[in-house]
Amino acid sequence: MNWLDDVKWDAQGLVPAIAQEVGSNDVLMLAWMNREALERTVQTGQAVYFSRSRQRLWHKGEDSGHHQIVREVRLDCDNDVVLLKVEQRGLPAIACHTGRHACFFQRLEAGQWKTVDPVLKDPAEIYK
Amino acid sequence: MNWLDDVKWDAQGLVPAIAQEVGSNDVLMLAWMNREALERTVQTGQAVYFSRSRQRLWHKGEDSGHHQIVREVRLDCDNDVVLLKVEQRGLPAIACHTGRHACFFQRLEAGQWKTVDPVLKDPAEIYK
């Protein structure tokens, strides 16, 4: 497992992981991975993150069904950031717990964060 | 400056910032910002990060000339990750200190990180 040793984990044993959608190249989200999360991601071909708030592995889509199928795993020049190229499950493709396509739906406009992307599905319908 | 107060800075006063290229949608790099870096980024329209290794503000391109012109600033659903949509300066567009277009040039293949993207310009020529 040398490739896992190549990653520079931070003091908490984590690295940021960016999920980018294959095709659109949209940046869907950023979450965190520990060594086990990255190992499981590669073994299973689905994104597994480490939830800092819950302090446990988090198989993306475990509640929503909105899994991320991992097509490519990349590492940056400093070996401390992971980039996943994924197919986002959900109809339509929903990565965000708010029911939006991606998590970056707030845009800075004239000194305010404005919500600029639509909710595609009511979270109450996703997490029922 | 309420919009800066809306950001959830971590224990070190930082948030990760993803730079994504306008047009191609390529993810160029991930760096870190403190409050002053984000404020200057918005004031100047060019990406300013906080270098954790040097513990100081880092105006991207200050040595290389490869500035990032910021066209859009976004914040994620948890208010703790910033996404910049940028025009990457350099001919060709080079974001990485290795002389590559983007920092994510290592791809996991059969249990090894393989360098899969070319050096576009010799770093010795960039940082002379």
* Greater model confidence, B15 or A91: B15
Beta-carbon contacts of residue A108 (< 8 Å; ≥ 6 apart): A114, B3, B42, B72, B73, B74, B75
Residue B40 pLDDT > 80, yes or no? yes
Chain B residues with CB-CB distance to A40 below 8 A = none
Length of chain A: 128
Residue B80 · residue B7 · CB < 8 Å: yes
What's the number of CA atoms in the CB half-sphere (13 Å) around residue B44?
Answer: 15
In whole angstroms, give the CA distance from residue A110 to residue B2: 11
In whole angstroms, give the CA distance from residue A98 to residue A44: 26
Using CB atoms, pick whichever of B6, B72, B78 lies closest to residue A113: B6
Residue A16 · residue A7 · CB < 8 Å: no
Chain A residues with CB-CB distance to B25 below 8 A = 24-27
Residue B108 pLDDT > 90, yes or no? yes
pLDDT at A1: 60
Using CB atoms, pick whichever of A1, A6, A30 lies closest to residue B18: A30
Query: What are A68's two structure tokens?
Result: 């991320």
pLDDT at A90: 86
User: What percentage of chain B reaches a pLDDT higher than 90?
Assistant: 96
Q: What Å distances lie between residue B128 and A42, B37, B53, CA to CA?
A: 40, 26, 21
Quote the distance between the C-alpha of residue B4 and its chain's center: 19
B108 at A interface, C-beta within 8 A = yes
Q: Band the pLDDT of B1: cuts 50, 70, 90.
A: low
Helix (H) or strand (E) holding B107: strand B106-109
Chain A residues with CB-CB distance to B107 below 8 A = 72-74
Segment-wise mean pLDDT, segments of 10 residues, chain A, 128 residues: 93 98 98 98 98 97 95 98 96 95 98 97 92
Q: What is the pTM of this model?
A: 0.97
- CB count within 10 Å of CB B86 equals 27
